[in-house]
Structure 1
Amino acid sequence: MHDISILLLFVFIVGSYIQSITGFAFGLIVMCGAGLFSLASLEVAAFSVSALSMVNAAIGLYGGVWKQVNVKNLIMYFIACTPMIAIGVYLLSYFGNNALHWLQLLLGITIIFACLMSLMKPKKDAEPSRPWVYFIFGGISGIFGGLFATSGPPISYLMYRQPIALSVIRATLLSVFFISCLLRIVIMGVGGQITLPMIWISVIGFPCVFITALLAKRYPPNISPQVIKRIALVLLLLSGVSLSVKALL
């Protein structure tokens, strides 16, 4: 148990470091590590990702950043996202108890899909997307968020296509991450699915993530963040393929 916790904490540190430099991948790295190396159950790993990502998003929104959020589209997004998060949480619980191999295969496919979306550089649209587009992406992100606490790639891809200021995009995405993680935790709490191992790993993971984020900000590497991002995406893509193959064997 202690060995597994230490290895998972190391994955937290790696994910936090890359997240701090590139702005993405914490959830993908933690879920991939947990699934590929069996460091913890996927339910426990997903909960810890939700809890720690919510803290990270709250810090990012602090200082008035939240005032730049695109509220109208955020509401439409969560009308679709909220019930899909609940469905995703249920599916994770069901598969986790009855079909672990299928769950690992689904996680592998999700990681592959997320990496491919992140590798594509979205071009700015001439006009802002209509509300129904946010509704559709909310449903897709909700499923990913409920299953594996990885709702980021679909909505990030959509937001970076919008002809709006980057500060608005960043504030809106941080709000999406915070509310999505909060909803996931609340849904799990109402369903009585939060366990002591989930809470314990999240608590001991917090200082690792927080300290790593501070150090990465204070002592950034000499390598370009874009280079690190592409290296991380390629490694995640290969890991997603390996996880899918592992589930099928």
Structure 2
Amino acid sequence: MTLLEHVFFLLCVALAAGAQTLSGFAFGLLLLSLTSLLDIAPMQDVAIVISMMTLANFLTVFGWRWPELDWKRLMPVLGSSLVGVTAGLWLLHTLSGSMNVLLRILLGLTIVVCAFILVHGGAMRKTVSGPSAFASAGLVSGVLSGLFSASGPPLVYLLYRQPLPLPTVRNFLVIALASNAFFRLVMVAGTGDLTWGIMALSLEALPVVVGVTWLVRRYGMGRSVEAIRRLVCVLLVLSGLSLLVPGLAALVR
């Protein structure tokens, strides 16, 4: 990467971190879409950086102290996520290289669908969903983690519709996303794709994520949460379409 590409990469990280802090989601999807559109770094490398940032977020939130967790509902998610991450990484390696156009189309489609799901949410349930619902969400989350290191949307959609205390939901999400990131990093390291260059890129991004998160929490949290969520979703849809439309056009030529 050139110096200018590093600057643009950090700007993308800052924008994604700000959107994540204001809206509660979108860091991975937004960073992947922006870096793919600008062709700054390979999608696979950026996905690893996102996994590293997810683990850093876990340590920032909890340190070395584990919170009280709903293990009854968390275990189906973790078990199915492990299967999903494995399948997602296999898909990523299959579609990389000569089928890179298909990978960009899949990323664009994923971003658009996730944006619509997150903005429309869904009605709050009167009772907590059963283990099969949590396992299904974990499986889809794992596949998205393996492909793009963007495992949040399926779990966000499921959990924020449950009649559970908000701290329980947040702790659940942080643990589940960090677990997916850990599974993914272990598998990536096993294939030799976790290089020193990617680790350096992660260290480069970390202070930007921490700094932007602190600034937004201190000075930018007075805005309407719903308006910000919709703005972030519009940005996601636009970036997703920017990947999807050219990819489809290239495919039909």
Please indicate the TM-score interval, normalised by the length of the shorter structure: over 0.9
Write out per-residue CA displacement over residues 162-189 of structure 1, whole angstroms, 9 at most, x where no aligned residue.
1111111111011111111111111111
**Structure-1 residue corresponding to 2:25:** 24
Q: TM-score, normalised by structure 2?
A: 0.93
What residue in structure 2 maps to residue 56 of structure 1? 57
Q: 1:134 to 1:222 in 2, by over 3 A?
A: closer
Aligned to 1:92: 92
Structure 2 segments unaligned to the other structure (5+ residues): none
State the aligned residue count: 248
In structure 2, what is the equivalent of residue 117 of structure 1?
117
Aligned partner letter, 2:33: C
1:172 aligned onto 2:172? yes
Instruction: Please list the CA deviations of residues 182-225 of structure 1 after superposition, one character each: whole Å capped at 9, or x if unmatched.
Output: 11111111122212332121110111111111111222255323
Residue type of the alignment partner of 2:199: I
How far apart, in 2, do the equivalents of 1:37 and 1:246 lie?
Answer: 13
Amino acid at match of 2:152: G
Letter in 2 for 1:226: E
- Deviation (angstroms), 1:70: 1.5
Structure 1 unaligned runs (5+)?
Answer: none
What stretches of structure 1 move > 4 A for 4+ residues in a row? none
Q: Which residue of 2 aligns with 1:138?
A: 138
Question: CA RMSD, aligned part only?
Answer: 1.5
* Residue 97 of structure 1, CA deviation: 2.1
Instruction: Indicate the residue corresponding to 1:247 in structure 2.
Output: 247
Counterpart code for 1:44? D
Partner of 2:42: 41
Deviations 1:97-119 (A, max 9, x none): 23110000000011011101111
Q: Does the aligned pair in 1 maintain the 2:119–2:229 contact within 8 Å?
A: no
Q: 1:104 to 1:61 in 2, by over 3 A?
A: same
Counterpart in the other structure of 2:223 = 223
1:193: which partner in 2? 193
CA distance in 1, matches of 2:99, 2:156: 30
Give distance in 2, aligned partners of 1:208 and 1:13: 6
Q: Give identity over the alignment, percent.
A: 28
Query: Aligned equivalents of 1:68 and 1:220: distance in 2?
Result: 30
